[in-house]
Amino acid sequence: MIEHLLKKDGYVYRIDLLNASDEELLEISRKMGLALNLYEMKKIASYFEQKQRMPTDVELQAIAHAWSEHCCYKSSKPLLRKYLYNIGKEKVIAREDAGVVEFDSRHYYVAALESHNHPSAIEPYGGAATGIGGIIRDVLCMGAKPIALIDPLFFGDLDMSYDELPEGIKHPRYLFKRVVEGIRDYGNRVGIPTVAGIVYFHPRYTQNCLVNVGCIGIVEKEKMVRSRVKNAGEVYIYAGGKTGRDGIHGVTFASEELRKESEEESMTAVQLGDPITKEPLIHAVLECNERGLIEGMKDMGGGGLSCAASEMAYAGGLGAEIWLDKVPLREENMQPWEIWISESQERMLLSVKPENVEKVLEIFDSWDVEAVVIGKIVEGGRIRVYYKGQLVEDVDLAFRVAGIEYMRTVKNPLIKEIEANFEMPDLEEMFLKILASPNVASREWVIRQYDHEVKGGTILKPLHGFPYSSHADAAIIKPLGQSFKGLAITTDVNPYYTSINPYWGTASAIDEAIRNLASVGARASSFLDCLNFGNPEKPERMGEFHESVKALHDFASRLNIPFISGNVSFYNEWHGMAIPPTPTIMAIGIVEDVRKIATPGFKKDGNEIYLIGETKREMGGSEYYRAMKINGGVVPRSDAEAIKKGMEAMVKAIENGVIKAAHDVSNGGIAVAIAEMVIAGKGARIDLSNIANLRSDFKLFSESNTRWIVEVENEEEFRHAFQELPLYKIGNVEGDGVVIYDNGKKLIDLSKDDVREAWESFSHSL
């Protein structure tokens, strides 16, 4: 027991780290929920030994949060710095709580992508809802108006029997439904459209689902706010919801593996969202910013007020004084350390000139949002925290905020891409089976729950077509009323690829993101990444991470497209079982004129159908191999130059009206791409005889990268526009169904109703 190391001092405890044994240091970390290892505890002890005093519980908790994997990226920062930070950096205006990139001569777009994995595994509704709330604040704190939400989601097998479910784990079907409800209720109530996302199912997400969330905003250039203070004398204003005990130890909880005891031990680490408070908070913040009253701003997300106040002051090269007893509370008898690190939602921290304080407080009052002065900016690089007159923290910000870094041991993943020999099945039957599979089938059940049209700026919706709809390749938002310029948004990753080959699986995510943007007529402008991996202290997990980040570098650098924002989520493991490597990619593209976009549905009988790109036997992780229960196979490869050429040719052809319909080839191969284009439009008659020297099943279901299916009216114009790329004429728009031949043999002959019924069966089963 460590009680002999604790000394009550007014409103805090002092902890005698200086005389603690190694075992006692680790016990202090465990009992206080610090999630710090022995090296880190000794480093803190050494700091306070130099100060010749014992730390307070407030100081220990604050340092632990600042040093958490979630906040300081101590395992990933060296690799991120080496591989990602310098790509296309001339295009990045700012990279803080969110990334900022030029949209037009007067505006920036602002974007962020985050994870809320551990909270969602414990309490899926609240975890997902507060993930959305937090990502909105990340964009808002840059002074931007949030205009769109994105939700990449990953779950275990929905049909798993309860007998197979590990003790302490919620069923994937329950997690799936509650996560979607949390995103739905928060996004719809706050009035921001959820326009893009993915839903993936893989057995290794059973113990640790992933909930990634993104947000995009728009801001006038001169109105952009930074996540830093400017000058000593500025005043800290706390605005928004009251502080409670929810979210305490949120970031330290997210920096450890989940265990069967996690729900009981860590439920208080899950925050409680309130979109009804968030909506007027957004308006009040934007009004203050419109009037030029904000010097710096940050949301109170991971680490709460403790991290927000410290990081803003440190980024400005200054110090701060905080008065914790001024913080609005919704619970009685909260300890100073609880107030300081609570991650209660709907809270913003503003830095304001003294002469503007009353104006800011009046604006928040007019929106019925609580706002109070809680501190000030001072010279020097220290943060001093007071509670009812007592100094409860006095720490150098360079020690606290700069944190620590590790060069973790890396073990290259074992890669086995061995092809299988097998007999070809009935292809029409297999086609229908793949269409109905969870990772291919319609997402209508999810999409229809989200209001993806609120605010009236969604030009291309996640489902497109009439009278029946299929998936659009990317959503398009028109952010400005006076301009036809648009933002295209997509998010991509295939965890079956990355689990076989992390490098080429990650490259495929970049490839597909570019293809999706190009399919609607958008040039890729920026990437965001949410890098979800297992325990970084295990060399094989760091090996997966290293391979993935290296692939991001190799492809983004050749394309000169920057990563403007992102997140690393480690420790996605449960009793040693890790998730598949999941580097979620969000890509944003610029559409010069939203009136000239392409959509997936076939348009006009008699038009030609072409395949752009080469088809190979690259079936590793494919829907076909999974349906056949075949392991192994070669994961699709990518070539950055081919991606670049394809994107530019596609965008120009769509802008010039050469392409009438477009869809990228991905999950399920050519067969599924054709089916989705038919569901959203007219029928197709296809002949695959000339596309490759492969067996018919590989032609149909290969998932080779950098391929599109397009509908064209003028073949001469089309061939001229794509003269540097492989082109294959594969058929015509014809009839009302899907008919596919290969070498004179009819492989598939199905009506649109048959195809649509199979594709929609998954949504209808939920």
Q: Record the tokens describing residue 651, joined without a space.
A: 């965008």
Strands, DSSP E only, in 362-483?
371-378, 382-387, 390-396, 458-460, 463-464, 470-471, 475-477
Residue of 65, 107, 116, 546 with catalytic role = 116
Q: Could you give the C-alpha distances from 759 to 177, 432, 637, 675, 756, in angstroms and in order?
A: 20, 8, 27, 9, 5
**Burial class for 362, CB neighbours closer than 10 Å (0-12, 13-18, 19+):** exposed
Torsion of CA 10, 16, 17, 20, to 10 degrees: -150
* SS3 per-residue string spanning 296-320: EEEECCCCHHHHHHHHHHHHCCCEE
Give yes or no: 65 in active site.
Answer: no
HSE toward the beta carbon, residue 218, CA cutoff 13 A: 18
Residue whose C-alpha is closest to residue 233's, from 387, 373, 397: 373
Residues 6+ apart with CB under 8 A from 634: 417, 419, 617, 618, 619, 620
Residue whose C-alpha is closest to residue 307's, from 33, 139, 67, 39: 67
Cross-strand bridge partners of residue 122: none
Residue whose C-alpha is closest to residue 695's, from 365, 412, 419, 459: 419
Residue of 65, 70, 452, 663 with catalytic role = 70
Residue whose C-alpha is closest to residue 486's, from 710, 191, 151, 218: 218
Give yes or no: 116 in active site.
Answer: yes
Do the Cβ atoms of 113 and 150 come closer than 8 Å? yes
HSE toward the beta carbon, residue 686, CA cutoff 13 A: 32
Q: Record the tokens describing residue 683, joined without a space.
A: 């029928």
The C-alpha atoms of residue 390 and residue 310 are separated, in whole angstroms, by 19
Distance of CA 693 to the CA centre of its chain: 39
Backbone angles phi, psi at 514, to 5 degrees: -65, -45
Cross-strand bridge partners of residue 196: 150
Q: Which residues are catalytic?
A: 70, 116
